């Protein structure tokens, strides 16, 4: 392995202030189950990514309460990269296909809006979760409450939660797609509406990303099997309250990203990174992975390109949808969701979190489980990475904001060394997450709207077991 290390260029090490493998104590730690249609919120002040709700395929009779847990991304903490379960403290009914954003006066309240609930088809109320006290409340809200919905997309900007589109939450298959534009003020606790002049047509499962006060809307579905092309970029200017439709192109037309829904988009280094998603057609009813799992939109030129990955790394790029994407500085956390490339009959849900590190000409990725396995292996062989440990500065607790994963082959076994790159939190230029959830009918999250599969249309409200109806 040192042989291969030698070939790495100096610059690489210079950029990545290396180090490795803290010993992770995984015993007794909470391990969340597979899920999809959850939401994720980065709480920067706590260095945590919260995960809320989502549908779990097992157990067969679900917990009627939502899971709420967080991933600790403070690398100076002994519990770094571990999950903490808050479910028993937070009585949020099982909620799926909702949106969550961090808001409130002190930016410490997670607002949970919409989606479908286990028992309550009316999801028009707003939940507020205090990240300091774990208190969940339903604040009294002024203004005209928009109808319940799922599969909208959201961003938060200056305390306002912007929600465009979505689908009626309480109805069945080919039902209402919304093109309304609702704005929830998390500080003054009221509902407002945004302009609909030149706004997109009704859609679901699109993504929204805020860039310098402009929200970019990408993809989604406008009808059951109709997916707008990714050349169409809708921009909403918040200050002007105006919409415009722009045309994007591809750096290389061969690599134009395909239409998609149920994907995510986040802002990294001033560029929009989209990930995953599915499409289908009248001919092909199954979910198919969107062409180009990961793509980057330059917001100045509106040119799509496909990022390059560092060839020394294994770089898992799972084809997912209904996952979440969270940006922490220049690191993207892709969590849970369903695989689009696993045949029906196989478990398609993803249990892992994938970590993508940007900020270098090339990207690195690894899964959280691999990092943990490596850390455990390293515990057995602590001598492996010690040559680089000196680059860690434990006296700088606010640093360590990055995870870089470098895979290095040792013999025939591809091993991954975990390289924690050190960047001051003060260097975070931006923190932003956005995600897309999509909807099903209240008791059948796997509705036709999601995967266009006829088998999903059986649906009986108020009959809990039908939430578990699966495709054959």
Ligand X SMILES: *[C@@H]1O[C@H](CO)[C@@H](O)[C@H](O)[C@H]1NC(C)=O
437: contact with ligand X by CB under 6 A: no
| Among 39, 123, 153, 451, interactor with ligand X by CB under 6 A | 451
Considering beta carbons, is residue 253 or 472 the nearer one to ligand X? 472
Listed residue (180, 49, 53) closest to 127, CA to CA = 53
CB 313 within 8 Å of CB 249:
no
Could you give the C-alpha distances from 211 to 152, 235, 433, in angstroms and in order? Answer: 19, 10, 11
Least separation, in Å, of the C-beta of 54 and ligand X?
Answer: 11
Q: What string marks each residue from 37 to 76 as x (binds ligand X by CB under 6 A) or -? A: --------------------x-------------------
What's the CA gap between 167 and 152, in Å, rounded?
A: 7
348: contact with ligand X by CB under 6 A: yes
Q: Among residue numbers 360 through 419, which ones bind ligand X (CB under 6 A)?
A: none
470: contact with ligand X by CB under 6 A: yes
Consecutive H or E run containing 136? strand 136-137
Least separation, in Å, of the C-beta of 353 and ligand X?
Answer: 17
Least separation, in Å, of the C-beta of 328 and ligand X?
Answer: 26
471: contact with ligand X by CB under 6 A: yes
Considering beta carbons, is residue 398 or 460 the nearer one to ligand X? 460
Least separation, in Å, of the C-beta of 471 and ligand X?
Answer: 5
349: contact with ligand X by CB under 6 A: yes
| Among 260, 450, 452, 467, interactor with ligand X by CB under 6 A | 450
Least separation, in Å, of the C-beta of 286 and ligand X?
Answer: 10
Least separation, in Å, of the C-beta of 430 and ligand X?
Answer: 31
338: contact with ligand X by CB under 6 A: yes
Q: Three-state SS for 379?
A: helix
What's the CA gap between 367 and 352, in Å, rounded?
A: 7
Listed residue (213, 203, 205, 221) closest to 265, CA to CA = 205
Least separation, in Å, of the C-beta of 447 and ligand X?
Answer: 8
What's the CA gap between 30 and 270, in Å, rounded?
A: 34
Query: What per-residue string of b and e applies to 323-361 under the rule 16 or more CB within 10 Å gives b?
Result: bbbbbbbbbbbbbbbbbbeeeeeeebbbebbbbbbbbbe
Q: What string marks each residue from 9 to 38 as x (binds ligand X by CB under 6 A) or -? A: ---------------------------x--
Considering beta carbons, is residue 350 or 366 the nearer one to ligand X? 350
Considering beta carbons, is residue 209 or 348 the nearer one to ligand X? 348
Q: Among residue numbers 273 through 302, which ones bind ligand X (CB under 6 A)?
A: none
Q: Three-state SS for 338?
A: strand
| Among 446, 449, 452, 467, interactor with ligand X by CB under 6 A | 446
Where would I find the beta strands (DSSP E) of 362-412?
364-367, 404-410
What's the CA gap between 155 and 99, in Å, rounded?
A: 9
Query: 461: which residues sit within 8 A by CB, 6+ positions away?
Result: 121, 441, 442, 443
What's the CA gap between 280 and 292, in Å, rounded?
A: 15
Least separation, in Å, of the C-beta of 323 and ligand X?
Answer: 11
347: contact with ligand X by CB under 6 A: yes
What is the token pair recorded at 278? 């599915």
**Number of residues forming the site for ligand X (CB under 6 A):** 11
What's the CA gap between 152 and 113, in Å, rounded?
A: 10
Considering beta carbons, is residue 48 or 56 the nearer one to ligand X? 56
- By CB under 6 A, name the binding residues for ligand X: 36, 57, 338, 347-349, 446, 450-451, 470-471
């Amino acid at each position: 392995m040192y042989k291969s290390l030698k070939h790495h260029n100096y610059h690489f090490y210079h950029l990545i202030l290396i180090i490795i493998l803290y010993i992770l104590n995984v015993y007794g730690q909470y391990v969340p189950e597979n899920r999809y249609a959850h939401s994720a919120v980065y709480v920067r002040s706590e260095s945590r990514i919260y995960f809320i709700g989502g549908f779990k395929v097992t157990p067969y009779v679900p917990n009627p309460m939502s899971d709420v847990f967080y991933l600790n991304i403070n690398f100076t903490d002994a519990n770094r990269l571990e999950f903490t379960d808050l479910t028993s403290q937070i009585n949020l009914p099982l909620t799926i296909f909702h949106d969550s954003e961090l808001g409130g006066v002190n930016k410490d309240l997670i607002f949970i809006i919409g989606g479908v609930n286990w028992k309550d088809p009316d999801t028009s109320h707003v939940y507020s979760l205090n990240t300091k006290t774990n208190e969940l409340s339903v604040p009294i809200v002024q203004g005209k409450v928009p109808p319940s919905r799922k599969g909208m997309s959201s961003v938060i900007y200056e305390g306002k939660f912007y929600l465009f589109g979505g689908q009626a939450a309480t109805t069945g298959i080919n039902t209402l797609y919304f093109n309304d534009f609702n704005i929830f003020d998390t500080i003054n606790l009221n509902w407002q509406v945004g302009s609909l002049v030149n706004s997109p047509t009704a859609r679901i499962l699109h993504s929204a990303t805020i860039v310098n006060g402009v929200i970019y809307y990408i993809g989604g579905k406008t009808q059951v099997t109709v997916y707008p092309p990714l050349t169409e970029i809708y921009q909403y200017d918040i200050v002007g309250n105006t919409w415009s439709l722009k045309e994007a192109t591809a750096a290389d037309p061969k690599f134009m990203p395909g239409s998609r829904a149920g994907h995510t988009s986040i802002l990294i280094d001033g560029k929009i990174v989209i990930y995953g998603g599915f499409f289908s057609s009248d001919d092909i009813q199954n979910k198919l992975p969107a062409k180009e799992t990961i793509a980057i939109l330059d917001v100045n030129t509106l040119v799509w390109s496909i990022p390059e990955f560092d060839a020394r790394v294994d770089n898992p790029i799972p084809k997912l949808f209904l996952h979440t994407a969270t940006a922490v500085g220049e690191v993207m956390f892709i969590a849970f969701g369903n695989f689009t490339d696993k045949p029906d009959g196989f478990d398609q849900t993803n249990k892992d979190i994938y970590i993508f590190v940007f900020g270098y000409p090339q990207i690195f990725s690894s899964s959280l489980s691999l990092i943990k396995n490596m850390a455990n292996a390293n515990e057995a062989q602590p001598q492996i990475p010690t040559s680089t440990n000196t680059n860690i500065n434990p006296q700088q607790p606010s640093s360590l904001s990055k995870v870089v994963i470098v895979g290095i082959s040792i013999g025939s076994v591809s091993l991954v060394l975990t390289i924690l790159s050190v960047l001051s939190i003060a260097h975070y230029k931006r923190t932003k997450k956005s995600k897309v959830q999509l909807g099903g009918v209240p008791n059948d999250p796997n509705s036709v709207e999601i995967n266009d599969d006829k088998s999903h249309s059986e649906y009986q409200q108020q009959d809990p077991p039908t939430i578990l109806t699966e495709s054959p």
